[in-house]
Amino acid sequence: MEKYSAFTLFAHALKHHKNWQPVWRTPSPKKTYDVVIVGGGGHGLATAYYLAKNHSLKNVAVLEKGYLGGGNTARNTTIIRSNYLWDEAACLYEHSMKLWEGLSNELNYNVMFSQRGVLNLGHTLQCMRDIERRVNANRLNGIDSVVLSTKEVQKLVPALDCSSNRRYPILGASWQPRAGIARHDAVAWGYARAADALGVDIIQGCTVEGFMLENGAATGVKTREYGAINAARIGCVVAGNSSVLSSMAGFKLPIESHPLQASVSEPLKPVLDTVVMSNHVHAYISQSDKGELVIGAGIDGYNGYGQRGSYSTIEDTLRAIIEMFPSFSRVRMNRQWGGIVDTTPDACPVISETPVKNLFFNCGWGTGGFKATPGSGHVFSSMLSEGKASMLTKPFSLERFYTGALIDEHGAAGVAHS
């Protein structure tokens, strides 16, 4: 038998170990990073990866106050779709969908992207008209989207109660076959491992408490644990904490932070092999590979930064699920949790330069940013490398809140969260 040195075996184990941990790094106070990214969620880590991979910027640090992917990235219901109404949003989310389709290969890490399709149910004539409008718009943008009748919906999801005597009968649905779900922590870890391998410094337990500003330009960040860290450019990707960070730099963002909750049931045998969303009764559900029913709510109406929500919201959500799936009424719920999401007035993200030179924000994804993780990182890396917006990101600049060129995706995107 061939003999391997202890070093070779260790290096091999490190390379192929599923529970890879980034080397615990500390920033060098003397160094000026090309880019510092604040926020080690999926979007921040994806940005770092594409900066190093596509823009050859390896002198990059990601600063995360907690642990990687511990924010909304690990708390969401992982629904991935691109069936948005307006061209600007549809193109951005479709860009992301295409990246999802090659992501496990790209990262050499199984993100468990499962294209099992998504149904957005219609319960009234007006819902169906909105669905038809959105499906037509999607098709014009080359996005796979069809309208299904009640019968077709029932065939796809036998457990769904499609009888006409329900309080909210199902009149049909939009169906995007390429939509699906993925494993959220694998996405964060996959990007982290790949960015780390390209030389990015990933620094956990590092809280940004302020910015270093000179003549209207940012020159670095002030951190609680490591003091000042210098940077030529700074990208903030902190989701529900975005307005806290912008106020440190002296400007306001049109963003509100709200709790958003989800829960999972005990594991069941396979019973649901697609994603079902209902705007009208307001709940969404899929079944994870472990068998748990993954159920998500609408936002809690009040503002807050606590990663938890109120009991009544989650109770209403479970009521809505039972309305659609009466056979789930005896299923026991295992866990419930909340994240803190960043909503904008037009339910679209902000990917933008700011009034402070060299300081950029990527936020406002609200309840729908998990699906955007690869696309968001990809386009934000271009912005940070070039210092300006691209075709895809231009419509999402802060300027739209002054010019009024809003991209109103409220409800139209097939999920009504506010």
* Residue number with CB closer to ligand FAD (77 or 358): 77
Return the structure tokens found at 325: 């799936």
Say whether residue 40 binds ligand FAD (CB under 6 A). Answer: yes
Q: Which of 22, 117, 172, 368 binds ligand FAD (CB under 6 A)?
A: 368
* Alpha-carbon span 301 to 75, nearest angstrom: 18
**Which lies closer to ligand FAD via its Cβ, residue 128 or residue 212?**
212
- Site for ligand FAD (CB under 6 A): which residue of 134, 183, 233, 371? 371
Q: Taking the complex as a whole, how short is the minimal distance between the CB of residue 54 and ligand PYC, in angstroms? A: 26
Q: Does 53 bind ligand PYC (CB under 6 A)?
A: no
Q: With contacts defined by CB under 6 A, how many residues of the chain interact with ligand FAD?
A: 39
Nearest to 123 by CA among 176, 163, 156: 163
Specify the stretch interacting with ligand FAD by CB under 6 A; choose among 33-41, 117-125, 266-274, 320-328.
Answer: 33-41
Rounded-to-integer distance, Cα 335 and Cα 349, Å: 29
- Shortest gap between Cβ of 288 and ligand FAD (angstroms)? 12
Cβ closest to ligand PYC, residue 94 vs residue 353: 94
Q: Does 383 bind ligand PYC (CB under 6 A)?
A: no
Among 47, 73, 120, 243, binds ligand FAD (CB under 6 A): 73
Q: For ligand PYC, what does the binding mask look like between residues 350 and 369, x meaning CB under 6 A?
A: -----------------xx-
Displacement of CA 241 from its chain's centroid (Å): 15
Contact range with ligand FAD by CB under 6 A, out of 112-120, 168-176, 194-202, 234-242:
234-242
**Binding span for ligand PYC by CB under 6 A among 1-9, 73-81, 216-224, 244-252:** 73-81
Minimum distance from CB of 79 to ligand PYC (Å)?
Answer: 4
What does the block give as tokens for 84?
Answer: 């948005």
Q: Which is nearer to ligand FAD, 150 or 343 (CB)?
A: 343
**Contacts with ligand FAD, 42-61, as mask; x by CB under 6 A:** xxx-----------------
Q: Is 81 in the site for ligand PYC (CB under 6 A)?
A: yes
> Contact letters (x/-) for ligand PYC, 269-308, by CB under 6 A?
---------------x-----------x------------
Contacts of 165 (CB under 8 A, 6+ apart): none
Q: Which span (7-15, 94-102, 164-172, 362-370) binds ligand FAD, by CB under 6 A?
A: 362-370
Nearest CB to ligand PYC, comparing residues 115 and 230: 115
> Binding marks (x or -) toward ligand FAD, 246..285, rule CB under 6 A?
--------------xxx-----------------------
Supply the minimum distance, in Å, between the C-beta of residue 81 and ligand FAD.
Answer: 8
Residue whose CB is less far from ligand PYC, 92 or 415: 415
HEC string of the chain equals CCCCCHHHHHHHHHHHCCCCCCCCCCCCCCCEEEEEEECCCHHHHHHHHHHHHHCCCCCEEEEECCCCCCCHHHCCCCCECCCCCCHHHHHHHHHHHHHHHCHHHHHCCCCCCECCCEEEEECCHHHHHHHHHHHHHHHHCCCCCEEEEHHHHHHHCCCCCCCCCCCCCCCEEEEECCCEECCHHHHHHHHHHHHHHCCCEEEECCCEEEEEEECCEEEEEEECCCEEEEEEEEEECCHHHHHHHHHHCCCCCCCEEEEEEEEEEEECCCCCCCEEEECCCCEEEEECCCCEEEEEEEECCCCCCCCCCCHHHHHHHHHHHHHHCHHHHHCCEEEEEEEEEEECCCCCCEEEECCCECEEEEECCHHHCCCCHHHHHHHHHHHHHHCCCCCCCHHHCCCHHHHCCCCCCCCCCCCCCC
Select the span of 41-49, 108-116, 152-160, 325-333 touching ligand FAD (CB under 6 A): 41-49
If one asks whether residue 349 binds ligand FAD (CB under 6 A), the answer comes out as: no
CB 192 within 8 A of CB 203: no
Q: Which does 415 bind (CB under 5 to 8 A by kind): ligand PYC, ligand FAD, none?
A: ligand PYC
